[in-house]
Structure 1
Amino acid sequence: MYKIPELLAPAGTLESIRAAINGGADAVYFGGKAFNARRNAGNMDETEMTEAVALCRQYGVKVYVTLNILIKDEEFEDIVHYLNFLAGLGIDGLIVQDPGLIFLLQKYFPDFRLQTSTQGSVYGLEGTLFFEKLGFMRVVLPREMPISEAAMIAEQTRVEVKLFCHGALCYAYSGQCLMSSTIGGRSGNRGLCAQPCRKKYQLRDADNRLIKEGYLLSMKDLNTKDRLNEVAQAGIDSLKIEGRMKSPEYVYAVTRAYREALNAVDEKGKAPSITEKELAQVFNRSFTEGRLFSDPQVIGDVVGRNRGILAGHVIGCEGGRLLIEALPDTAFSVGDGLSFGEDSEKGMRIDALFDLKGHPLSSEKPGIKIKVPSRFEVPAGTPVYRNHDARLTRRLKRESRAAKHVRQQTVRFRLRLALGKQTEVTAEAGGQVVTRISNIMPTAAQKLPLTCEMLSRQFERLGGTGYQFDGLDADIEPGIFLTKGELNALRREIVDALDAEQKEEKAAPVVFSLSREIPVRQAVKKPLLSLEPADRAAFEALCGLVVDELVLPVQDLSRPQDCEAPIAHAHVCGKRVLLAFPRIMDTVASARLKARLEDFCGLDHDGVLLKNYEVLSLFQDRPVYREADQPFNLLNVLAMKQLKEWQADGGVLSPELSATEVAALAKRSAISCVLPVYGRQEIMVSANCVYNCADKQCRGCQRYRGWAALTDERGASFPLYKDVDNIIHIYNGDILLLKEELKRQKHIDKWRIYATDEGTEELETVVGYYRDALDKGVFGSMPGRAGVRYTKGNFKRGVE
């Protein structure tokens, strides 16, 4: 299914909009001042957004607006106001994540065309089909997906599919990272990620032995420019460039490079105006083709920032100046930015250039030796990288802002003219067809009768209308006549009618009340106590604990019979059992589950814990209890209502909610509420192996499975677990422990304990503590584990 995909460029400002248009983008995506996942980008206010949409319309560029964060209940009034504004802009789509926002949009703003955000966490075919059934126009596939799987999904679905093609990569699966909010209350799911993955860490094994250190979570930048023919062969609908926080010069250079590469694939190419070197110069943390093309070198653990490109090396220091020898193809300029060494931790700006004799350099020559003022010394032989090219930036700025010919919309006319009868005129433009019957009536010709050529000469006069003449067809009764003035009036009349038809009539503003939408529910007398282990190794031993419910992790999706004995044993011990399928379910895993779905449904379990849209889709319409787990990021009451419409019976509340927010949400929830009360909170899940072994024998790898720890530069430790599928799970080093504050939570249906690296005796103590609290209403003192810190997490402070 060969297809040249849409090229989708980022824009954080009006300048970036212009840069994307000049670069050759087919579409742009941007956000407003709030409610988008790049809240620290420039972003645009409503006046600027209106101008941006008008500018894009001039050049036939589509516009998608990002609303891709989790919404708090108190923000819905503002977001409805914002949606009323967007409804009048005539944009081409919204990019969304939050289930509550999806509910709001589909019920109150059904005319918006919706796309999933990468934060929405779709992992494969079943998740894509789920959103196709919801009526979404487009689904973005995960950056961890290989091109072969993406091609299969494009072939087997009707919904459009989108892939990332260039820019920054997240270490964790998008939408599943809580590290930033856990460390400092800045939520990536709310557009304020502090990028802890770009920091330095040490990796130590279970015996505290150092394995490696560096920027262990820092991903290289994606660059698929040389693989676009394979993307076209895969039938992908849209290619997305990352970079709303990048400069207009970056947006222009990357968009132009990909436009030219796509044109070359489509055999329309010319010599590229952006070279490979220039593409790397504008920004890179080293490039990778990513997991999309099975590149094993995706982590750049040497450097965590833009290093630029190698430009020379240091040959000495003297008198507060560095002596640098440039590479043969490199000419330094005043204003260039430099960094030194492979880790690029030291850097400077060139404020002046001198030759080796100390004379100022008046011209820029490649490959020469220079002196530059410096506040620090750098050892001879150190490589020099240029992370900002002042001359290139000036050129890109000039090209990105250059005036571009406006691509006008073409219009074709049809006329029916007869003696003494009203004239019928039709105009067709942009798929819009308008017909008008005019009171202007032809008379008998005295000299020259009306011809099609005469009509065309008058109707092609479209200056200032925004239309370009594309031809005219006419059914003319012989021997009739109209004056030039009458022909001009006919033209103006039909063009005005076409304009009026193309201007969408604004709908009345939506009025929305959250309190009317969600009624208050009754308080819960006594929550259930549930326990979820990290794996099933010690499941049967847990059956002796005084909990009401156990979660049974399913490890082999092709062997439902392996669950029979554990379920039976738990039931004998009086426990409910929920099956939990893997958190990450690609197309192959989902197919294995689908093949044995009837057998899993036939087991004597008490329900299913849903960790992704793939499992939700497969278990819809099944007569089982369904509980949406933390990966659904349930942050507001409309999300709970949406989950009910998706046939979920319960939901685990987001760990980014404060105590006050939890109480308010649970009071109005449409489904039962589950609250995590104890355990290590999983803050990252990733397909990118942090061990990053040099030999890259990743397929079938069994090395380093089990527990280890990451330690940051402040000394904080984060337990890390590599599972049997080689997925990396990173946990908060501080254990969540909620106590007396639970007394104020009157509408929670279930407390959940998470067991990770605790021993059996410690778990008995923890479970006993919460059982006493539930049965006796008393929170005593619980002995803590030596060397372990406890936290209330975001329950105390919430997130920004």
Structure 2
Amino acid sequence: MTTGHCPELLAPAGTWDCAKAAVENGADAIYFGLDRFNARMRSQNFTEADLPELMAFLHSRGVKGYVTFNTLIFPQELAAAERYLRTMMAAGVDAAIVQDVGMCRLIRHLSADFPIHGSTQMTVTSAAGVEFAHSLGAQLVVLARECSLKDIEKIQQQTKDIALPLEVFVHGALCVAYSGQCLTSEALGGRSANRGECAQACRMTYDMKVDGELIDLGDKQYLLSPQDLSGLPVLPDLIKSGVSCLKIEGRLKAPEYVANVTRVYRQALDRAWQENGTNSAIKSGTNSAMKSGTKNGTNSATTPTPTEKLALKLGNRPISYEPTADERYNLEMAFSRGLYTGWFRGINNQELVHARFAKKRGVYLGDVERVTKHQVELKTTIPVKAGDGIVFDSGHPDTDQGGRIYGVEQRGRNICLSFGKHSMNLRRVQPGQKVWKTSDPELEKTLRQSYRVEQPAVQQPIDIEVHGVAGEPVVAIATDPQGHIAQAASEKVLETARNKPLTTEKLQQQLARLGNTPFKLGQFTNQLADGLIVPVSELNRLRRQLVEQLLEQRQQPKVWAMAVERSHRDLLPDPAETPSNPATLVPLVRNGDQLRTVLQCGLTTVYCELENPVHYRAAVALTRELNPRAKLYVAPPRITKPGEQYILKQVRQSNADGYLVRNYDHLQFFADQPCIGDFSLNVANPITAAYFKTEFGLEKLTASYDLNVAQLMDLLTSAPANWFDITIHQHMPMFHMEHCVFCAFLSEGTDFTNCGRPCENHDVVLRDRTGTDHVLQADAGCRNTLYNGVAQTGAEFIPRLMDQGARRFRIDFLNESPTQVQQILTCYQQLLNGDMTGHQLWRTLKLSSQLGVTRGTLERH
């Protein structure tokens, strides 16, 4: 995909003040949620009734507004979701940011042109994901935060035929898990991240047990809490990659944060764009332009432009951007757990997570050198003044001391800080502790003033041209960057001047007086005949009319096509009759001993997930040997990034009976094979289910783990029940991460090339604050999954699910022994046979000393 435009800067807004802060500090667009169906339900959100006024305000300022419609939608919510979508379209919203595949289908069913932006919750990490979003009718897709610059460039190259614009997060909090694939809040508290209710378990403390022993990690307690993302140092590389939009995270943040970060990136983006001469997508655009010029044989085409010369000079070399001291200070004061370039420069597990704290720290001042009864002495180059907030970092955030500075005294090269009486316990402050500046009231005041203004602080250029001859009115025409055009004519005609005729300079000066409007004069063209004059009052009236017309046009809602006669019901599949075949168990195993056990139990369908796909061939052979009637479906890793097709080839070389597909690459790569859709496809409603079933011919679909039993029953009612696998027993896969905990804390390496592969030699669990041990496992892509240490069962709901037509019940094993596997299978088989109740099964498994079991998420919400 090539572009001749500077990337759009997209800022978050949870409130009106945030929206104004973004607009007045240079955002090209904002994104915001409504009071339902958005992934930040804990934030303040706009309402449907706010939409007309909000969109009129944004469009009057030349700013776009995108609604975050980025949660999974449950069956009973489809009608409400349709109403929301129609309201958005009628209000002229510029796009909906969407996670749910079914909602993409519904939008395109209702409207041929209303823009869809594929959310980062869709977990798009490859060209196949971009193509999938394009096939759903998306006009843009937000890539997963885990994509590096190299990944982005590969994706751009591999999707150049469809040229779908790409958006990336450039600043803000990093989720440690892949968005759309985090089930931690769901597993631990029934609050789904896929429903906008993330409980931020990644920001909690964890202990690490290796081979059964707790290990001492010193002051590293926050093992899953990444530093905050700052793409500022790689800004020119992001421009060079051809991404269309740079997104700032922060819908839960205050307007001061929005103002601060938006202003920094606006100024930096403009500077980087101008300094690097980027007027086209440098890399791909240059090559195509040069080839085209050579082919056409024209001299002008074969002579590189300055931009093309720059691109040829840069090649694949990273382009550095050195943030200014003010930029670094402002971003750290806005909110910082430490700022880092995330995954843009590739994987560095030693730097991504420092693990020392998970709350805002701000700007590092220095280390404590001396503590007296009333003062703390340190050396710093950062300005500090009375009223600033600071915190002393003891290495144990729960006991850190912090507060407001009362006085600052210079002592040689050092400063001495004093504090209000009883505001801080200085006896707990020790030499050597790090000191952080967490608050700057003066900066915060300046930021508030930036958006609490009566006249626009950011103005867009409008081009004005004037025409006229003697005896005729002056005609002025204005155009804005969005393509609106206004025309006004003077009431008085032009006359021949006796002296001081109108000059271009005088006209331009008069028409440029746009100070209290959203506009500034761009290009001015004077087409008046020479030697003419008209009263200045007429020019002022022309200017006011042009502004009024442009604003009126801008504030009109965009008109999207909307099929009134269509409905979500048109997309619903026909529910099939309740099947009469007996219910069966479908186990998923994760090692050879478990596989051998389930095969000996006589089960005819088995799923298998191994860390190393090379071992799948042996698993297939074992299945053929022990139970020739059994079908073995093997699972590729959940994420596929550019360059990882070799892993899928290894999986396919096993010649398994079928494959458990988990992402868009799998749908494409295994299209000609028998496939089962796994839970990671996030099938939560019948429209999504019908799309995967009919478009890709999947044999079965695993129902989303976000559904409780009532919602699951609704799904089985609204789509054929025999389409679904129902996972009835499992250790919930909570975090699925690019971050490798094995590498970060059991080696000194940065990634798989130099870590020594501790994942192959050690068993690791992470113990949370409740004392529960959660199992950590790596996959072939060196990604980690943290599984809930307590298995959950939905045994008590099986009779109701069977009455609704469910027949395949999936049991996912993790690290159970063969004896435990056999016990669990026996209990569930007795339940299906009517020889045991769900309550008895739950009690039986719960009482087993080695099997922690909870009733789990099916009963929650």
Q: What band does the TM-score fall into relative to the shorter chain?
A: 0.7 to 0.9
Question: C-alpha displacement at 1:291, in angstroms?
Answer: 2.0
Find the residue that maps to 2:741 and give its secondary structure.
coil
Q: Deviations over 1:402-438 (max 9, x none)?
A: 4435635636679999x9xxxx9998665658899x9
Alignment of 1:642-791 (within 5 A): 642-649=691-698, 650-670=700-720, 672-691=723-742, 692-693=744-745, 695-700=748-753, 701-705=756-760, 707-745=763-801, 746-776=804-834, 778-779=836-837, 781-782=840-841, 783-784=844-845, 785-791=848-854
Question: C-alpha displacement at 1:676, in angstroms?
Answer: 0.7
Q: Does 1:274 align with 2:326?
A: yes
8 Å contact from structure 1 (residues 281, 388) kept in 2: yes
Q: Does 1:218 align with 2:220?
A: no
Bigger CA drift: 539-548 or 108-117? Answer: 539-548
User: Distance in 2 between the 1:232 and 1:428 partners?
Assistant: 27
8 Å contact from structure 1 (residues 529, 750) kept in 2: yes
Q: Which runs of 5+ in 1 are unaligned?
A: 356-360, 477-483
User: Distance in 2 between the 1:282 and 1:751 partners?
Assistant: 49
CA RMSD of aligned residues (A): 4.5
User: Distance in 2 between the 1:761 and 1:652 partners?
Assistant: 27
8 Å contact from structure 2 (residues 76, 714) kept in 1: no
Q: Does 1:185 align with 2:172?
A: no
Question: C-alpha displacement at 1:564, in angstroms?
Answer: 5.5
Find the residue that maps to 1:236 and give its secondary structure.
coil
Q: Deviations over 1:571-614 (max 9, x none)?
A: x5311222321111112223653x689x66x9461x33211122
Question: C-alpha displacement at 1:562, in angstroms?
Answer: 6.1
Find the residue that maps to 2:65 and give its secondary structure.
strand
8 Å contact from structure 1 (residues 162, 240) kept in 2: yes
Identity among equivalent positions (%) equals 24
Match of 1:614 among 656, 662, 665: 665
CA separation of 1:546/1:558 partners in 2, compared to 1, >3 Å: closer, same or farther?
closer
Q: Does 1:263 align with 2:270?
A: yes
Q: Does 1:195 align with 2:197?
A: no
Letter in 1 for 2:711: E
Alignment of 1:477-626 (within 5 A): 503=556, 504-505=558-559, 510=564, 517-518=571-572, 519-525=574-580, 526-535=582-591, 539-553=595-609, 565-566=621-622, 568-569=624-625, 572-590=627-645, 593=648, 603=655, 605=657, 607-620=658-671, 622=672, 624-626=673-675
CA separation of 1:790/1:49 partners in 2, compared to 1, >3 Å: closer, same or farther?
same
Q: Does 1:383 align with 2:434?
A: yes
Bigger CA drift: 405-414 or 62-71? Answer: 405-414
User: Distance in 1 between the 2:717 and 2:255 partners?
Assistant: 46
User: Distance in 2 between the 1:81 and 1:753 partners?
Assistant: 38
Question: C-alpha displacement at 1:327, in angstroms?
Answer: 3.6
Q: Deviations over 1:61-93 (max 9, x none)?
A: 222221111122233333222222211232322
Q: Does 1:631 align with 2:680?
A: yes
User: Distance in 2 between the 1:619 and 1:9 partners?
Assistant: 39
CA separation of 1:510/1:325 partners in 2, compared to 1, >3 Å: closer, same or farther?
farther
CA separation of 1:466/1:61 partners in 2, compared to 1, >3 Å: closer, same or farther?
closer
Question: C-alpha displacement at 1:752, in angstroms?
Answer: 0.6
Q: Does 1:176 align with 2:167?
A: no
Letter in 2 for 1:255: T
8 Å contact from structure 2 (residues 187, 856) kept in 1: yes
User: Distance in 2 between the 1:710 and 1:176 partners?
Assistant: 19
8 Å contact from structure 1 (residues 682, 730) kept in 2: yes
Match of 1:341 among 382, 394, 402: 394
8 Å contact from structure 1 (residues 672, 749) kept in 2: no
Find the residue that maps to 1:266 and give its secondary structure.
helix
Question: C-alpha displacement at 1:672, in angstroms?
Answer: 0.3
CA separation of 1:453/1:520 partners in 2, compared to 1, >3 Å: closer, same or farther?
farther
Find the residue that maps to 2:689 and give its secondary structure.
helix
8 Å contact from structure 1 (residues 532, 551) kept in 2: yes
User: Distance in 1 between the 2:94 and 2:486 partners?
Assistant: 26
Match of 2:447 in 1: 396
CA separation of 1:494/1:324 partners in 2, compared to 1, >3 Å: closer, same or farther?
closer
8 Å contact from structure 1 (residues 84, 510) kept in 2: no
Match of 2:250 in 1: 243
User: Distance in 1 between the 2:561 and 2:111 partners?
Assistant: 10
Q: Deviations over 1:133-161 (max 9, x none)?
A: 33312222222222111112123321111
User: Distance in 1 between the 2:125 and 2:814 partners?
Assistant: 25
Question: C-alpha displacement at 1:236, in angstroms?
Answer: 2.1
Q: Does 1:303 align with 2:357?
A: yes
CA separation of 1:460/1:250 partners in 2, compared to 1, >3 Å: closer, same or farther?
closer
Question: C-alpha displacement at 1:344, in angstroms?
Answer: 3.5
Match of 1:367 among 415, 425, 450: 415
CA separation of 1:336/1:771 partners in 2, compared to 1, >3 Å: closer, same or farther?
same
TM-score scaled by length of structure 2:
0.78
8 Å contact from structure 2 (residues 407, 417) kept in 1: no
CA separation of 1:409/1:54 partners in 2, compared to 1, >3 Å: closer, same or farther?
farther
Match of 2:300 in 1: none
Q: Deviations over 1:612-666 (max 9, x none)?
A: 122123344x3x4432211122222222123234324321112222212111211
Match of 1:163 in 2: 168
User: Distance in 2 between the 1:739 and 1:524 partners?
Assistant: 20
Bigger CA drift: 76-85 or 65-74? Answer: 76-85
Q: Does 1:331 align with 2:375?
A: no
Bigger CA drift: 133-142 or 660-669? Answer: 133-142
User: Distance in 2 between the 1:552 and 1:41 partners?
Assistant: 40
8 Å contact from structure 1 (residues 33, 44) kept in 2: yes
Question: Aligned pair count?
Answer: 772
Q: Which runs of 5+ in 2 are unaligned?
A: 276-320, 530-536
Q: Does 1:28 align with 2:30?
A: yes
Find the residue that maps to 2:462 and give its secondary structure.
strand
Question: C-alpha displacement at 1:754, in angstroms?
Answer: 0.8
8 Å contact from structure 1 (residues 628, 648) kept in 2: no
Find the residue that maps to 2:144 and give its secondary structure.
coil
Which protein is richer in helix relative to its size?
2
8 Å contact from structure 2 (residues 256, 447) kept in 1: yes
User: Distance in 2 between the 1:702 and 1:347 partners?
Assistant: 36
CA separation of 1:775/1:139 partners in 2, compared to 1, >3 Å: closer, same or farther?
same
Find the residue that maps to 1:41 and give its secondary structure.
coil
8 Å contact from structure 1 (residues 71, 636) kept in 2: yes
CA separation of 1:314/1:435 partners in 2, compared to 1, >3 Å: closer, same or farther?
closer
Bigger CA drift: 545-554 or 265-274? Answer: 265-274
Q: Deviations over 1:503-548 (max 9, x none)?
A: 4447668577666653443223323321111245753553222323
8 Å contact from structure 1 (residues 32, 44) kept in 2: yes
Match of 1:358 in 2: none
Question: C-alpha displacement at 1:390, in angstroms?
Answer: 1.9
TM-score scaled by length of structure 1:
0.84
User: Distance in 1 between the 2:546 and 2:224 partners?
Assistant: 63
Find the residue that maps to 1:70 and give its secondary structure.
coil
Letter in 2 for 1:63: G
Match of 1:56 in 2: 58
CA separation of 1:339/1:49 partners in 2, compared to 1, >3 Å: closer, same or farther?
farther
Question: C-alpha displacement at 1:347, in angstroms?
Answer: 5.0
